[in-house]
Chains A and B, each alone.
Chain A
């Protein structure tokens, strides 16, 4: 079954005006149930726009988009996904626990169940001791972890994440990557994950979607098959091979085998040009 399907999706901001921007064009992408898909690319390639289209926070100007087999709008109204943004976006007037409870509250979950689930999620992100704190008392990284707990609290079948680990230190980041994978595997959650980090994309994903700007589009999709992840995975040859593949795709070199001197020089010229 497919969790998300996009075909021929395009998005134009300020259409028909002087400041018209083609943010995305001709995007075809399917995410199968339980799959982990990363979107990677330079700034302005439309990866955050793509995520917001799936979340129905903005609407496409062309193409069709289904989430869990329904139109994106219906999926949002049915609360089919959980989402975490680049900014934590916590409610500063609520305690950490009440922030995580928020989506459950909106779904009408009972008080006791809400508290139990929120505490469980905070335990997961390592903030069990901070349930009574206000966001302003936490560091940026801790706030981000609360936001992730909030996204996970509803046990969504689809998880949308927009560079959620960007503000975290490397150790926390790796730990949360492992936690995220464990949760996704346990619950069969499908994930779309926007990131800037090549190793992060490779480590987490079943497929890495490489995008490029002006106009924003998908240029390559790289399948990653590393089996179940563990500490050893980060040192494995397959992991580094994956990183190399993604890096080349980002530079625009067609195939890893054809790395002749002339091809690589033209590729680097392209990078400086863009």
Chain B
């Protein structure tokens, strides 16, 4: 009655949804038009409401005020963005490498593979961010190491869970086929397991890339070095300079988008067969 549940998609609420096939054929412009209208209209409405005094500026500053602050602080935003971005990037790479290697190790053992997914999923539900103050104690609170460690712990779980899921999922016909070719364990892994797991790995990496930026920004709320976007947001907000705080939030959003776009691009490059459906 219903189509088979797309296992990769069901586990991945952040995947880009392209519903139906018509969007591509409708052309770039027509697909872009409704969101553009909504975006511009929304911004205009927001500006109008704030200007008309229906919402106090401390609750929601006008977009024009935020933009003004963004432009004024652009060099600071750039520098702090680089610092936060570096934390997110280093943590992302470290967490992803550990996650992928861990998943490969866990998939070698049936029991370990079966048990570690629910356990990792449970650990993933914990507010890992709250580790930040403890890590500040354990390392130097004046270095970026504690933040990078937080990022890599946050990143580890989605990468590990998705990779392991991908490695465990093997089409039974593929197994029979490779048996009929008398293919050995390593050949099977190389030709079937790894390519089959690739979409799952990239799903994990895409989720992780967004989480990495979020963790890097939020880890700064817990004190420590004051060189990133997150610390600027808190300091601006505590000085009630709300438009400036919003401007740094916008900077953080741009950083998040860059990470997401890069990981999405890599995914498209590495798994061409999924794009061409």
Contacts and interface: CB of A to CB of B under 8 A. Distances in A.
Contacts of A213: none
A94 B177 CA distance: 15
Interface of A: 52, 55-57, 76-77, 79, 81, 83, 85, 87-89, 91-94, 102-103, 106, 133-137
A26 B274 CA distance: 47
Interface stretch (B18-26, B48-56, B149-157, B187-195): B187-195
The secondary-structure label for the interface of chain A is loop
29 contacts: A56-B179, A76-B182, A81-B180, A83-B176, A83-B177, A83-B180, A85-B173, A85-B176, A87-B173, A88-B173, A89-B171, A89-B177, A91-B174, A91-B191, A91-B195, A92-B273, A93-B196, A94-B273, A102-B191, A103-B181, A106-B181, A106-B183, A106-B187, A134-B272, A134-B273, A135-B273, A136-B273, A137-B276, A137-B277
B82 interface: no
Interface in B197-216: 198
- Report the contact-size class of chain B (Cβ under 8 Å from the partner): 20 to 34
Nearest to B270: A93
Nearest to B276: A134
Contacts of A55: 180
Contacts of B273: 92-94, 134-136
Nearest to B196: A93
Contacts of B195: 91, 93-94
B271 interface: yes
Closest 3 CB pairs between A and B? Answer: A89-B173, A134-B273, A93-B195
A106 B272 CA distance: 23
B181 A79 contact: yes
Contacts of B272: 134
Given A76-B182, A133-B276, A136-B274, 9 more contacts: A57-B180, A76-B180, A83-B176, A83-B177, A85-B176, A88-B173, A89-B173, A89-B176, A93-B198
Contacts of B182: 76-77, 79
Contacts of A106: 181, 183, 187
Nearest to B171: A89
A77 B183 CA distance: 9
A133 B276 CA distance: 9
B200 to A, nearest CB: 12
Given A77-B182, A79-B182, A91-B191, A136 B177 contact: no
Contacts of B187: 106
B179 to A, nearest CB: 5
Contact of A57 (B179, B191, B192, B276): B179
Contacts of B191: 91, 102
B236 to A, nearest CB: 48
Contacts of A52: 176
Interface string B150-180: 0000000000000000000001011011011
A91 B181 contact: no
Contacts of B171: 89
A57 B176 contact: yes
A87 B175 CA distance: 12
Q: Which of B174, B180, B276 has the most CB of A within 10 A?
A: B180
A64 B2 CA distance: 45
B105 to A, nearest CB: 23
A57 B178 CA distance: 10
B22 to A, nearest CB: 17
B175 to A, nearest CB: 9
